[in-house]
Every structure is written in structure tokens, then in C-alpha cells.
Amino acid sequence: MSKLLFRSTNGRSPSVNLREAFLAGQAPDRGLYLPERFPRLTPNEIAEFADLPYRQVAFRVLRKFTDGVIPDDALSAMCDKAYDFGVPLEVIHYGVYLMRLDQGPTASFKDFAAQMMAQMFGRFLQEDGKQVTILTATSGDTGAAVAHAFHKVPGVRVIVLFPIAEVSESQRKLMTTLKDNVRTVAVDGKFDDCQAMVKRAFTDPALDHIHLSSANSINIGRLLPQSVYYFYAASRLAQPGEPMVFSIPSGNFGNMMGAVFAREMGLPVRKIIASVNDNDAFPRYLDSGRYEKISPSRNSVSNAMNVGSPSNLARLVSVYGGEMDETGTIHRQPNLDAMRREIFSSSITDERTRTSLREFWNKYQILLEPHGVVAWQGFLDWCSVEPLGRTPAVIVESANPAKFPEEVEKVVGWAPDVPASMVTGLRLPEDYDRMGADYERFRDYLIAAHA
């Protein structure tokens, strides 16, 4: 049997199958799971996606990872349930497209992974008859996507931590208006504080009696579904075998790793552009080879990308043959030349973000929001150093403008329409707990919640 196994980026935990990697979230040695080898899709298999709806593309990509863990008929039904919304591909101008990942229930790309993870958790827990608590730190959109996806899933309790001052009102309401098995905690601190509290809880022996798991992009279950839309776009926009460019607005680098996974699985890619806001630890690293975290992380208008030290860099470094541990320390340098050939990264200030949002609207009559526009501007930056030529390019729009009405209105002068899927959530009463960025208090809170 040659079942696909997942190894830890820290290299000190045994390899496990998808199910175990998924339920654990993080490896015992605090590394992140990566496939030991990437399953491949042939150019023919990819070309066939052109005629399939998204949910079936998802099935055909994901089954490469679920062999022996989830039977095909079950996986196919899970994909049907998870993906009942569209993935619009709009023309910006000839050969350059906008991929809108904002049509899910909470209007950000986080729905793609959260919906599938809820299906997978539901299935695995039913098999085991176990209870699990999903702990999630969010910079705005993960919390909402996870809360919605797991709302009322039997056997699952969800606790979401978010930085009180760094999320928009719509983002907050999309997570605080659910009740039942979902609790939200507003932290007087930054996203990095929330993430640190969650990470500590995972390794705290005082919480051993609580079965904790993670829906953050440290979980491999987040990344696999995020590779699917790159295949979907390529099958529709490129000739079979033709390489593409993807520009991806990046914070914790989970979305961007989805593209790296797709490439490792055989998708022809000319360049992956990781566009960031003022949190520029990655572009600086690409430049200099020296990695320095941004601490504390910097606030910006693209608030879902306020990440000072992206956890998925450990995976990226590992794919390129290096080793970075969970503290961001590099123990072995990856092949930086290869990384620079295949990845471009640019940091976009808030001022450029706002200007670009207005210019994009004026020029193309397409409304972006602060994250998607960072991807657009990063794409322009890359075009100025390497001509695009005839390569098809996809700019990833990661959220709906209606999630950031204050910011969008400031720039273009009017408020974006609210999609029907968001309307109800925004009207329900909110309910959340509040605490400082204090781990001891958070531990007590978790213990009390499980008493």
C-alpha cells in the first residue's frame, strides 16, 4: 500500500495520514503538515475540468488526497454540499482576469476551505463518535467562515478569537450573531496575540482533557481546498499546458500556498505573485534572504492580511528544501534562487491601496475591495519588471466589497450593495465575550466552557 502520508515541517514527528493530520491541526513537534509527495494531475485531467462545475473539479482534485481515507462517493457528496455557490471569472482586459472568491455564505475566500472542513470534521467525528473544540484566531474572515460552516455541526464546538479593534463591523457581525455551538471572544489585542493564545492552548498540558483542533491555515485541511480554484481557473482561461500568472492577496499565506500546491500537483504556473500590505516580512526575505518578523504586526486597510509572521512560510520554505520552525527561525535555507524565479512579492501601502481602488473603478468599472486591490497592484508591480506578454493572468479577489463598506465608500463615494447571503446575519443581535490578550485568563475560560 502506498497511501499518501503527511510529514511535519519540523521533521521530528512521525508522518500520518490525512485524517490524523486533519484532526490534529498541528504536528506534535509544532511543525505544519505537508504531503510527503504531491499527487499529480495530468494535463488531460486538468483540461477535462473545463466542462465541469466547480464542485466536481473540487472532487477530482481532492480525491487525490483522500484515497483510502474517504470513499469517492462520500467525497463527491461532500463537495456537492460544500460548493453550492459560483466562482465568477471576469475579464479585466484582454488576457487578464479577476477571479471572485466572494460568493460563499460569508463572502470571502475563507468559505472555500471552511465549508469543506466542516464536511470533513463532520464525517471523521461521526466515525469516531468524538467531540471536538475548534479553536480559531481570526483577522476577520476566517472566524465568520468557520462559524457559519460549523454552525450546528454535531460533535463540534467552535471558539473564535478576534482582535476587537481590527475587524470591520460586517466582519464582526458575521461571526457574533450565531449562537448554539459557536462562541466568539473579542480580544483587546492584535491578531498576532489571538494567534499566540490559540497556539499556546494547543500545547498546554492543563488542557489535555479537551480535544482541541484548529481551522486556521496551520491545518492542512485548509490548504487542500484552496488549491482547487487555481485548477478551475486554468481549465477555463488557459490552453492545456499553458502556464499562468496568479496574483494573490496574502496575509498568513494559506491562499498562496494553495497555488503552490496546485503547481506541485502539475498545474503549469509561470509566476505566483504574493501581494502583501505593510506587513512586508516575506518580500524582504525574498530580497535579502534574511527573515525578520514584523512585531507587532502593522494595521492596514486590508485588515485580514495584518499578519506579522505568516505561519505558512514554514510550509513554503519546506517545499523549497529549507526548514523554518514555528518561531520563524530558519534552520536551513531553502533554494532562494528557485523561489525568486517562481514567486514574486510586493508590499502595497495603504495609500497605494486606496488610490488603486479608485483608479481601478474609474478605468474598468469593476469594484474591488482593499484585499483584492493589493493583489492587483502587486500584479502591476510585477508587470513592470517582467513583461506579461501573452501569459493569461488571474487576480484573486478574496472578499466582497460589502464586507468593507466604510473603506470602499471613503474611496469611491458610495456604499457597495450587500449580497443577499449577508443581509440576515447583519440584522441579528450580537453576542460575544471579551478579554485582554492574557493567556491565563483564556485558559480558565476554556476550562470553564468545557466544565
CB nearer ligand PLP, residue 108 or residue 184: 108
CB 38 within 8 A of CB 7: no
Among 38, 85, 112, 253, binds ligand PLP (CB under 6 A): 253
The smaller minimum CB distance to ligand PLP, of residues 105 and 122, is found at 105
CB of 32 to ligand PLP, least distance (A): 13
> Could you say whether residue 251 binds ligand PLP (CB under 6 A)?
yes
Cis peptide leading into residue 296 (ω within 30°): yes
* 400 contributes a contact to ligand PLP by CB under 6 A: no
DSSP result, 54-112: HHHHHHHHHHHHHTTTS-HHHHHHHHHHH--S---EEEEETTEEEEE---STTSBTHHH
Residue 387's Cβ-count burial label (10 Å; 0-12, 13-18, 19+) is exposed
By CB under 6 A, tell whether 110 contacts ligand PLP: yes
The answer to whether residue 261 forms part of the interface with ligand PLP (CB under 6 A) is no
Q: Which of 13, 119, 216, 250 binds ligand PLP (CB under 6 A)?
A: 250
The DSSP bridge partners found for residue 324 are 330
Q: Which stretch binds ligand PLP (CB under 6 A): 68-76, 153-161, 244-252, 386-394?
A: 244-252
The H or E element that residue 273 is part of is strand 269-276
163 interacts with ligand PLP by CB under 6 A: no
Yes or no: say if 4 and 65 are a contact pair by the CB < 8 Å rule. yes
Would you give the binding string for ligand PLP spanning residues 210-239, x where CB under 6 A is met?
-------x----------------------
Of all helices (H) and strands (E), which one includes residue 246?
strand 244-249
Helix orientation angle between 72-82 and 110-128, rounded to the nearest 10 degrees: 140
Measured from the CB of residue 286, what is the shortest distance to ligand PLP in angstroms?
Answer: 15
Nearest CB to ligand PLP, comparing residues 69 and 264:
264
Spatial distance between the Cα atoms of 261 and 15, rounded to a whole number of angstroms: 18
Question: Does 252 participate in binding ligand PLP (rule CB under 6 A)?
Answer: yes
254 interacts with ligand PLP by CB under 6 A: yes
Helix axis angle for 350-364 and 405-412, nearest 10°, is 70
Q: Which is closer to ligand PLP, CB of 9 or CB of 13? A: 9
Grid coordinates in use for 59? 472532487
Residue from 147, 398, 407, 442 touching ligand PLP (CB under 6 A): that is 398
CA distances from 228 to 55, 64, 208, 263, 267 (A): 10, 12, 35, 11, 11
Smallest gap from residue 156 Cβ to ligand PLP (A): 21
Nearer to ligand PLP, 369 or 381 (CB): 369
Instruction: Based on the shown chain and the rule CB under 6 A, indicate whether residue 60 belongs to the binding site for ligand PLP.
Output: no
What is the smallest separation between the CB atom of 129 and ligand PLP, expressed in angstroms?
A: 32
Q: What is the footprint of ligand PLP within residues 280-309 (CB under 6 A)? A: 304-305
Should residue 137 be labelled a site residue for ligand PLP when binding is judged by CB under 6 A?
A: no
Q: CB of 211: closest distance to ligand PLP in angstroms?
A: 25
Residue type (1 letter), 110: K
Q: Does 143 bind ligand PLP (CB under 6 A)?
A: no
Part of the chain binding ligand PLP (CB under 6 A), chosen from 77-85, 235-243, 251-259, 420-428: 251-259
Residues numbered 358 to 397 that lie near ligand PLP (CB under 6 A) are 371
Does 108 contact ligand PLP by CB under 6 A? yes
Alpha-carbon gap, residue 67 to 80, rounded angstroms: 18
Three cell numbers written together for 445: 475560560
Of the ranges 248-256, 329-337, 339-347, 414-422, which one interacts with ligand PLP (CB under 6 A)?
Answer: 248-256
Give the integer Cα–Cα distance in Å for 5 and 21.
9
- The correct pick among 9, 116, 141, 232 for binding ligand PLP (CB under 6 A) is 141
Q: What is the C-alpha to C-alpha distance for residues 395 and 255, in angstroms, rounded to an integer?
A: 12
Contacts with ligand PLP: how many residues (CB under 6 A)? 18
Burial 66-76 (b: 16+ CB within 10 A, else e): bbebbeeeebb
Please give the Cα distance from 157 to 153 (Å, whole number).
8
Please report, as ranges, the residues that interact with ligand PLP according to CB under 6 A.
Answer: 108, 110, 140-141, 217, 249-256, 304-305, 371, 398-399
